[in-house]
Amino acid sequence: MKKILFIACAALFAFNVHAEKEKHVILITIDGFRPDFYFEKKWHTPNLHKMVQEGTYAFGVNSVFPSITYPSHTTIVTGVQPVEHGIYYNSVFEPDSVTGKIYWNFHQITAPTLWQAVTKVGLRASSINWPASAEAPVTYNIPDIGGRRDNMIKYSAPAGFLDTLNNQLFHRKEIADIDLGKDQNSAKIAAWVIKKDKPNFMTVHLFSVDHFEHQEGRHGKKVEEAIADADEGVGIIRQAIQEAGMTDNTLLIVTGDHGFLDVNTNVFPNVWLAKAGLLDNPNGQWKARFHSTGGSAFLFLKDKNDTGTLLKVKSMLSNLPAEESKYIRVITTAEVQKIGADPNASLELSGLNGASFGNEYTGKAVRTGKGGTHGYYPDCREIQTGFLCIGKSVQNNYEIKEMNLRDITAIVAQYLEIQMPSCKGTVPAGLFK
C-alpha cells in the first residue's frame, strides 16, 4: 500500500513539476500597428509604453508584399513569405469573375504553421479573430470569417463556444451581439480562454485600428480612440496571464502586420487597360487585368505566356503623362523575387505620392482620394509595423533595429522548444537573455 501511495505521489509530483515548467506564448497583433504608437507619448497607450520599459521592442518590422492583413498574418505563423505559404492577398484573384472570395480557410495555407507544430507535440493552441484560420487545428477558435453570424457559428470551436461566451462572459441573448470590432471584447474572450485553458500558444488579432486608419489616415480622433482601445485590450490580456498564474513562464508578444500611409489620390490602372483595348470588362473577354490591393496592384494575363500583351502594358505605363505616372512605381522582377510575392502575377505596381489603387475600369484613371491605406512595397518607414515582447527570459528596455515578420515564427518556436524546420525567419540577436 505504501509503495502504491509513493508511486502515486511521485507521479503527481512529476505532473506538477511539468505543469510549472510548461511554457506559453500569447501572440497579439494590432492591425495597422505602427512603432510610433509606443515610441511617441502623444498616443494614449500606457500598456504599450510599459512593455517598452519591461521588455524588447523593435524600431521597425518589415512586412510582406502586398503589405496587407492576410498575407502578413500568415507569414507570422509560418515563418515564410507568401510565395511559400500561398496566401497572396486578402481576396482571391478570380480570373473570370469578381465574387469577393476571401482567404478565410486554414486549408488554403500551403506551408506548415505554428498551430500545427504546437499541437503535434501535444501542446494546446487557441486563436481569436486570426486571418485564414477557419478550421485551424486549435482547441478554442473564433476565426476571422467576415463577421457573419452563420459563419461564426459554423467555424467557431469547440461546438457551442459562442453560446458559452454569451452566457458566461457577455450575458447577452444573441451571438450577433458580440461586437468583435471593439478590441476590448476580443481581448475579454482571449482572457477567458487563457484563464480556462492556459493555452501554450494563442494568436489574437485586434483590428479596429486598421479600420479607422483607413477612414482618417495615420492621424485622427478615431485612430487615437482605436489604439487606446487596443492598448486596453493588451492590458486585459496581460491581467489574465497574471490571474492564471502564467506570468513567470509566458512570452507576451504584441506586433502588427503593416503600417499605414496617408492617401490623397486614387488610381485605377484597369482604366488604362480598357482604353488600350486589353480589358473589355472583368466578366467578359480580357487579355490583361490588374488586381488592386490598396497601395499596390498586380497584373494578371489571361494567357501568362502572352508576351505581346505584357510588352503593350509596359509600353503603356512608360508612356503615361507625368501627372499620372508620378503616382506609380513599377516593381522589378528582382524586387518581387526578393520579397517572395505572388509568382503568378506578370507585373506589379506600388503607389507613390499618396496614391492608392482600385479595381474600377470605367471613368477617370486618376481621382481625388482620402484616408489612409497599406499594401505598398515594404521598403519605406511608414509601412513598417511594430514589435514588443516581454517575459522573464527577454531583455529589458532593449531595441532591435530591424526585423521581419517571419522572425516571429522563429521566436515562438525557440521559446516553446518546438520544431519548425520550414521557417525562414531568425531570432533577432539579443532578444533573449
CA–CA separation, 335 vs 187, rounded Å? 38
Mean pLDDT value across the chain: 92
What's residue 16's pLDDT? 39
Of 26, 24, 30, 62, the closest CA to residue 43 belongs to 30
Average pLDDT over residues 359-373: 96
Q: Which residues contact 254 (CB under 8 A, 6 or more apart)?
A: 28, 29, 30, 33, 48, 51, 234, 386, 387, 388, 389
71-109, pLDDT tens digit by residue? 999 999 999 999 999 999 999 998 877 778 999 999 999
pLDDT band at residue 179 using 50, 70 and 90 as cut-offs: confident
Average pLDDT over residues 397-420: 98
Q: Is 373 helix (H, G, I), strand (E, B) or coil?
A: strand
Which region among 28-37, 117-126, 145-154, 277-286 has the lowest average model confidence (pLDDT)? 277-286
CA–CA separation, 406 vs 263, rounded Å? 28
Cell numbers describing residue 139: 482547441
Q: What is the pTM of this model?
A: 0.93
pLDDT band at residue 5 using 50, 70 and 90 as cut-offs: very low
What's residue 27's pLDDT? 99
What's residue 129's pLDDT? 95
Please say whether the beta carbons of 285 and 364 come within 8 A: no
Cell numbers describing residue 72: 502578413
Which region among 14-18, 104-108, 312-316 has the lowest average model confidence (pLDDT)? 14-18
pLDDT at 120 over 70: yes
Structural domains of the chain ordered from first start: 22-261+381-416 (3.40.720.10), 264-369 (3.30.1360)
Of 159, 257, 151, 241, the closest CA to residue 202 belongs to 241
